[in-house]
Amino acid sequence: MFRQKLINLCRSSSLLINLNHSPLNLWGQARRLSFLKPSNQLKTKSESLQTQNKIISHQTDKIDPFNLSFQVLIEDIYSNQSDVPQLLEAKQWLQKALEYNIHNGKRNRGNALLTTFRHFCPEIDDDENALTKVCLLAWCVELLQSIFLIYDDIMDNSTTRRGQLCWYRNKDVGMIALNDGLMIQSTIYFIMKKYFSSSPNYIQLIDLFNSVTFQTTLGQCLDLLSSSLDFSKFTEDRYDAIVKYKTGYYSFSLPIRLALYLANITDQELHSQSEKILLEIGQFFQVQDDYLDCFGDPKFTGKIGTDIEDGKCSWLVVKALKLADPGQRSIIEKNYGIKSEESVDAVKQIYNNLNLKNKFRSYENAKFNEITSLIEQMKIDTESSSLKAILFEILKTIHERQK
């Protein structure tokens, strides 16, 4: 019953963008989805619907296949070493951590993977098991995202995330969250091995997860080292490096390239082209994030911005230091990174005096046009034409976003 729901719901789900599919001469349908066909790995328990309902109820009454497949992931956690009852409490804790840190997210990364794969392999609608597996890979991307957010909140001493207390801020959690991140990361590779080890590009999938995780931690390191309030480091070059490595790779390049490998699209030139564009989109996204941290409405963003008091190397402060006169620069240097309302207000006043809101709007429009041009310049063939449509949709989704 569960798997049939996945098939029926996928055909009508708004989760996947309805693009005009053109058949690819990559490989036949049987070969294209053969490694995705499971044997007994996707058996589900009809009685365990509680987690599924929690996951889907917060957004919509409409159930979609992505949400339904989360239950498979949870059941896989419990089935792993099920003969060791002493681990049950730890597995229950892991389930609690996953539900808390994932259920309020926008799931842009997982949805991007699903959309991309379905565009290249439209026959996925007719293969229930293959669809579930692709959804599980999409959840692996969302799990990676949750790890980074858990750790980022701890390192930034943040209070809220997605409209609720940060995970580590809960009284019964604290620094247990550090181990939770490791458990979630292990879950990714457990799921990958169980469902994708027979993929012709399994090594590429694993390598991509590993390399992107490493690149992201390098970006996080640069970000943390910039919090020492050495304003000589608050340059556009350093900011671009932080954004590229901390955000661009895992948020934009990873889900799209995973979908390409899963569809057996291995042309390295196409991967290189897509990554270059996706990293530009990632920078665009992060600049928006920096702006919203300061000027966004917490009712929409779901969090209270702390970049100023945390001394973050953000787009706003880099731009302000570049434009400020000596007096304005002195005010920024005296107040930036100070955890007081007066200091935050003093920095924001300089931002307003420098008209950074309008400068951001100018940047937003210029960057949108620049990325549009890059996409239009991609080589013309069946695969890249399909990918161009996906890249345009991603760009359109984040343009002028409010959260």
Which 3-state string (H, E, C) describes the chain? Answer: CHHHHHHHHHHHCCCCCCCCCCCCCCCCHHHHHHCCCCCCCCCCCCCCCHHHHHHHHCCCCCCCHHHHHHHHHHHHHHHCCCCCHHHHHHHHHHHHHHHHHHCCCCCHHHHHHHHHHHHHCHHHHHCHHHHHHHHHHHHHHHHHHHHHHHHHHHHHCCCEECCEECHHHCCCCCCHHHHHHHHHHHHHHHHHHHHHCCCCCHHHHHHHHHHHHHHHHHHHHHHHHHHHCCHHHCCHHHHHHHHHHHHHHHHHHHHHHHHHHHCCCCCHHHHHHHHHHHHHHHHHHHHHHHHHHHHCCHHHHCCCCCHHHHCCCCHHHHHHHHHCCHHHHHHHHHHCCCCCHHHHHHHHHHHHHCCHHHHHHHHHHHHHHHHHHHHHCCCCCHHHHHHHHHHHHHHHHHCCCCC
For the chain, the structural domain boundaries read 1-17+51-199, 210-403
Quote the pLDDT of residue 174: 96
For 210-403, CATH number out of 3.40.50.720, 3.40.50.300, 1.10.600.10, 3.30.360.10 equals 1.10.600.10
- At residue 76, the pLDDT reads 95
Q: What's the predicted TM-score (pTM) here?
A: 0.81
Report pLDDT for 47.
39
Q: Residue 25: its pLDDT value, please?
A: 31
Instruction: Report the pLDDT value the prediction gives residue 20, as an integer from 0 to 100.
Output: 32
Superfamily of chain region 1-17+51-199:
Farnesyl Diphosphate Synthase (1.10.600.10)
Q: According to the model, what pLDDT value does residue 37 have?
A: 59
Q: Do domains 1-17+51-199 and 210-403 have the same CATH topology?
A: yes
Which regions in the chain score pLDDT beneath 50?
1-31, 39, 43-62
- Whole-number pLDDT of residue 327: 98
pLDDT for the residue 103: 79
- pLDDT, position 135: 96
